[in-house]
């Protein structure tokens, strides 16, 4: 049985070995995803059409929305499935996985209906000009028509990983990225489809990943199921899924809003400020995703042992915290000594290098705090702490907006840049306080949990 192999890592493997088993595939998969988003823009850039480039940039919120809907179902279902595995409640897992599958499809159909009815309004709302309107709408319509597959991709990846099949999760990401990279140049240069070609390649990549995950669940998985006989709108399942899924979806939306506000503040100091920040953020993406992949990768391990073995759960959290600290310190030291050179890889403009070198040193300090914040959020997800997850979605998603206003009035441009680190630090403090308040609830034994239910 496939799960018996995974059960070894859940229950018996050395902690560091178990963490590596669950996290390394997540880290690799997420890193590859970043590469293909960059290459999408690269292929369009070869056409030397700025209007097309503008269009694919404007449509990023649509893909983010579909990803948020997938995580709305997938994150909640995944953490619940891992806890049910720890409880050995295998029959319930079939209900949860079936619920996740069909609810994802229903959400996708709703998105299609909204897209077909309000396509023009959505395109205008994204900020498309008269010149970029057609390209932007073409991309949006392809994405929205394929919404069920895109939502399913993110949802199924979560529940597969929840069962402990971390390698399957990673391979699914590779399938999506690989198909996209093969089809991008074919659709853009051979078929001359331009922006719709990028959208079609992305969609087909997601379809490929869904087919792969579906094959695994139907043919290989011991406990996951798509069977309609297990699908029902069960109150307990819905509560367990959405009490974690909703905060994660809200956090995604809030952080998008915060990014929009930050860009507007930075733009008031000129294009060089925005460009320098954009370069620094691109460099930050890779170490950030490594730490994020580590913290998200161990969520199933924490969730399983929250029910099965509290001592192992605590050891997992402790070792993961140590790794986060080491990685953050390592990346910060690299940036401290080579920041200007890293910025210079992306530009030869002396002004951008000077501003970017300053920005990158400040925002890389945030790795020390955002890594631990991500781990704390993962703990709340894994243990089903819906209220705590809601608090953190507001803290991490919206806290920076008032801080931006305050620090800009006090320190101008420097205040805007330092607001990132200060907001992240406050979010971590809030997370630690909530974690301290919940410390007894997170360490009770299984009999007490059943008694509370």
**Is residue 294 domain-shared with residue 331, that is, in the same domain?**
yes
Q: Is residue 250 part of a domain?
A: no
Q: Is residue 395 part of a domain?
A: yes
What percentage of the chain carries pLDDT values higher than 90? 46
Q: Is the pTM of this model over 0.85?
A: no
| Range with lowest mean pLDDT among 47-56, 144-153, 220-229, 350-359 | 47-56
| Residue 144 vs residue 443, higher pLDDT | 144
Q: What whole-number distance in Å separates Cα of residue 73 and Cα of residue 126?
A: 25
- The reported pLDDT for the residue numbered 453 is 44
| Residue 348 vs residue 163, higher pLDDT | 163
**Is residue 329 domain-shared with residue 362, that is, in the same domain?**
yes
Q: Is residue 247 part of a domain?
A: no
**Is residue 391 domain-shared with residue 278, that is, in the same domain?**
yes
**Is residue 182 domain-shared with residue 295, that is, in the same domain?**
no
Q: Is residue 424 part of a domain?
A: yes
**Is residue 47 domain-shared with residue 196, that is, in the same domain?**
yes
**Is residue 323 domain-shared with residue 399, that is, in the same domain?**
yes
Q: Is residue 335 part of a domain?
A: yes
Last residue of one domain, picked from the residues 233, 248, 267: 233
- The reported pLDDT for the residue numbered 452 is 44
Q: What's the pLDDT band for 271 if we cut at 50, 70, 90? A: low
Q: Is residue 126 part of a domain?
A: yes
**Is residue 205 domain-shared with residue 277, that is, in the same domain?**
no
**Is residue 277 domain-shared with residue 213, that is, in the same domain?**
no
Q: How many domains does the chain have?
A: 2
**Is residue 215 domain-shared with residue 274, that is, in the same domain?**
no
19-73 tens-digit pLDDT: 998 898 888 877 776 776 667 767 777 787 777 877 776 777 788 788 889 988 9
**Is residue 331 domain-shared with residue 365, that is, in the same domain?**
yes
Q: Is residue 239 part of a domain?
A: no
Q: Is residue 296 part of a domain?
A: yes
Which residue range forms the structural domain that includes residue 407?
258-452
**Is residue 10 domain-shared with residue 157, that is, in the same domain?**
yes
96-141 tens-digit pLDDT: 999 999 999 999 999 999 999 999 998 888 778 888 899 989 999 9
CA distances from 19 to 12, 160, 210, 285, 342 (A): 12, 17, 26, 22, 30
Average pLDDT over residues 341-356: 78
**Is residue 201 domain-shared with residue 298, that is, in the same domain?**
no
| Residue 276 vs residue 315, higher pLDDT | 315
- The reported pLDDT for the residue numbered 257 is 74
Q: Please say if the pLDDT value at position 217 is more than 50.
A: yes
């Amino acid at each position: 049985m496939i799960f018996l192999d995974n059960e070894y890592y859940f229950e018996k493997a050395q902690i560091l070995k178990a963490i590596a088993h669950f996290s390394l595939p997540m880290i690799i998969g997420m890193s590859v995803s970043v590469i293909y988003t960059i290459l999408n823009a690269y292929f369009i850039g070869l056409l030397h059409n700025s209007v097309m480039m503008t269009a694919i940039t404007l449509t990023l919120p649509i893909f983010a929305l579909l990803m948020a809907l997938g995580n709305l179902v997938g994150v909640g279902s995944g953490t619940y499935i891992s806890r049910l595995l720890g409880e050995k409640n295998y029959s319930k897992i079939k209900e949860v996985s079936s619920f996740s599958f069909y609810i994802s499809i229903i959400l996708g159909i709703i998105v299609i209906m909204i897209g077909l009815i309000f396509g023009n309004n959505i395109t205008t709302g994204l900020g498309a000009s008269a010149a970029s309107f057609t390209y932007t709408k073409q991309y949006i319509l392809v994405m929205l028509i394929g919404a069920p597959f895109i939502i399913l991709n993110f949802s199924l990846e979560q529940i597969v990983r929840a069962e402990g099949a971390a390698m399957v999760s990673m391979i699914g990401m590779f399938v999506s990225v690989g198909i996209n990279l093969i089809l991008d140049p074919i659709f853009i240069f051979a078929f001359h489809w331009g922006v719709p070609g990028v959208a079609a390649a992305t969609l087909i990549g997601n379809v490929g990943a869904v087919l792969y995950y579906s094959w695994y669940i139907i043919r290989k998985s011991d406990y996951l199921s798509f069977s309609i006989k297990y699908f029902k709108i069960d109150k307990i399942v819905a509560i367990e899924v959405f009490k974690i899924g909703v905060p994660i979806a809200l956090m995604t939306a809030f952080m998008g809003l915060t990014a929009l506000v930050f860009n507007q503040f930075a733009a008031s100091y000129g294009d060089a400020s925005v460009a320098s920040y954009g370069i620094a953020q691109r460099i930050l993406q890779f170490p950030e995703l490594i730490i994020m992949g580590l913290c998200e990768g161990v969520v199933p391990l924490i969730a399983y042992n929250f029910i099965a073995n509290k001592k192992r759960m605590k050891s997992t959290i402790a070792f993961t915290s140590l790794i986060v600290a080491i990685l953050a310190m390592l990346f910060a030291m690299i940036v401290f000594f080579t920041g200007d050179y890293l910025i210079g890889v992306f530009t030869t403009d002396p002004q951008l290098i000077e501003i970017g070198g300053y920005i990158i040193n400040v925002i890389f300090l945030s790795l020390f705090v955002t890594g631990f914040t991500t781990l704390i959020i993962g703990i709340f997800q894994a243990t089903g702490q819906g209220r705590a997850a809601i608090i953190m979605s507001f803290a991490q998603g919206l806290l920076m907006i008032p801080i931006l206003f305050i620090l800009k009035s006090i320190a101008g441009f420097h205040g805007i840049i330092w607001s990132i680190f200060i907001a992240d630090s406050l979010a971590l403090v809030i997370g630690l306080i909530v974690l301290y308040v919940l410390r007894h609830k997170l360490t009770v034994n299984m009999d007490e949990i059943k008694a509370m239910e």
